[in-house]
């Protein structure tokens, strides 16, 4: 079985400062990992995914994440936050059988002007 | 391309009533999923279809929830009778199959927000 832990339920940053959203996973095999973003009243949107290729994954809107097997982590970063980045972010692991996704509890990112 | 469509967007019912949600996946996507997202939590998979067959429904409360995808395209999710704890957002997602017949990235609809009073 796999699981995901998002270490912060809320993160607040100022516009223009770096963003770090932390995620640790547990899996008995080499996982596929994703970050999704959810804006209010909108569907989940895929930011980026890791599927055993390069460990540093670049996504949309300037986000990137680094897969660190030794630390079982997949933290999401962005060099400079924008007001439009304020949303809920979910770290997700995909099961080995089928395409079952297991979501973390989410991190709400707030961006202050 | 058009995304995953869901309706209605919002629904308010009283407990013990029944309710149904509809999902139209992205054209050509073989796999369709229904998730339940309770406020403050991540989505939880309820059921997964591939074409018109069920792949996984281990987390579907079958005493009150049912889902179908009769023609392998649209899907409906029904709750009968509803309980207060069913208040949540119900998300539909779809994914294509790759050349090896494996599911690829899931694309999500906007969800149906259900409130049970």
Cβ neighbours, 10 Å, residue A108: 16
The pLDDT of residue A30 is above 90:
no
Q: Write down the pLDDT at residue B1.
A: 62
The pLDDT of residue A31 is above 90:
no
Place of tokens 């957002």: B89
Distance between CA A37 and CA B49 in Å, rounded?
Answer: 24
The minimum CA-CA distance between A82 and chain B, rounded to whole Å, is 23
Distance between CA A52 and CA A71 in Å, rounded?
Answer: 16
The residues on A that touch B, with CB distances below 8 Å, are 4, 34, 36, 41-46, 49, 90, 92, 98-101, 103-106
Average predicted confidence (pLDDT) for chain B: 91
B85 SS3 class: helix
Q: Write down the pLDDT at residue A37.
A: 95
DSSP string, A29-95: S--EEEEEEE-TTS-EEEEEEESSS-SEEE-GGG-EEEEETTTTEEEEEESS--GGG-EEEEEEEE-
The pLDDT of residue A48 is above 90:
yes
Q: Write down the pLDDT at residue A29.
A: 76
Q: What is the pLDDT of residues B22-79, one digit of tens each?
A: 999 999 898 999 999 999 889 999 999 988 899 889 999 999 999 999 888 999 999 9
Q: Write down the pLDDT at residue B103.
A: 61
Q: Give the residue among B87, B23, B91, B65 at the shortest CA–CA distance from A42.
A: B91
Q: Write down the pLDDT at residue B40.
A: 86
The minimum CA-CA distance between A86 and chain B, rounded to whole Å, is 16
């Amino acid at each position: 079985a796999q699981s995901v832990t998002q270490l912060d339920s809320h993160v607040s940053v100022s516009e223009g400062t770096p963003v770090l959203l932390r995620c640790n996973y547990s899996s008995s095999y080499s996982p596929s990992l994703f970050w999704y973003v959810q804006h209010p009243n909108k569907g989940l949107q895929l930011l980026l995914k890791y599927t055993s290729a390069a460990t540093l994954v670049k996504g949309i809107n300037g986000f990137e994440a680094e897969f660190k097997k030794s630390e079982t982590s997949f933290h999401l970063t962005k060099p400079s936050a924008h007001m439009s980045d304020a949303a809920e972010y979910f770290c997700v692991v995909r099961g080995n059988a089928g395409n079952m996704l297991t979501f973390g509890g989410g991190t709400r990112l707030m961006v202050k002007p | 391309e058009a995304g995953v469509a869901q309706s209605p967007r919002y629904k308010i019912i009283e407990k013990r009533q029944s309710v149904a949600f509809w999902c139209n996946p992205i054209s050509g996507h073989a796999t369709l999923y229904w998730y339940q997202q309770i406020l403050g939590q991540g989505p939880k998979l309820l059921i997964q279809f591939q074409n018109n067959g069920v792949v996984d429904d281990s987390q579907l409360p079958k005493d009150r929830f049912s889902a179908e995808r009769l023609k392998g395209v649209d899907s409906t999710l029904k709750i009968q009778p509803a309980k207060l704890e069913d208040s949540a957002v119900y998300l539909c997602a779809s994914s294509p199959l790759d050349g090896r017949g494996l599911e690829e990235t899931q694309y999500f609809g906007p969800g149906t927000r259900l409130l049970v009073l």
